[in-house]
């Protein structure tokens, strides 16, 4: 199975976890997904002061700046696999 196929499968599996992951886990998933699909975040597009959730997500993504697409995909897959091991699938 190719890396892209593994990534696509992980993206489906994450939606079928038995429970919602912690906020920290969700930020890691979001940041790696965005880095893998969009690339580096542009600091000029950071959400405003009142959008706390948006800023947290953006900052997590920005922290991955410079990470290659393949590395972000691998990190995303690894995180999903660890969540499946700890939480399980429906």
* pLDDT for position 44: 94
Instruction: Tell me the pTM.
Output: 0.93
Mean pLDDT of 65-88: 97
Give how many domains the chain has, as a whole number: 1
Secondary structure class of 39 (helix, strand, coil): coil
The CATH number linked to 51 is 1.20.80.10
Which tens digits make up the pLDDT trace of 17-33?
999 999 999 999 999 99
Distance CA 2, CA 89 (A): 22
Which tens digits make up the pLDDT trace of 38-70?
999 999 999 998 999 999 999 999 999 999 999
* pLDDT for position 76: 98
Domain that holds residue 27: 3-86
The closest alpha carbon to 37, from 73, 78, 63, belongs to 73
């Amino acid at each position: 199975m190719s890396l892209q196929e593994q990534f696509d499968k992980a993206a489906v599996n994450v939606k079928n976890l038995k429970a919602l992951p912690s906020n920290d886990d969700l930020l890691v998933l979001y940041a790696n997904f965005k880095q893998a699909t969009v690339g580096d975040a542009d600091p000029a597009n950071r959400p405003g002061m009142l959008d706390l959730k948006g800023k947290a997500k953006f900052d997590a993504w920005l922290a991955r700046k410079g990470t290659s697409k393949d590395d972000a995909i691998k990190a995303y897959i690894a995180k999903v696999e660890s969540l499946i091991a700890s939480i399980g699938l429906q």
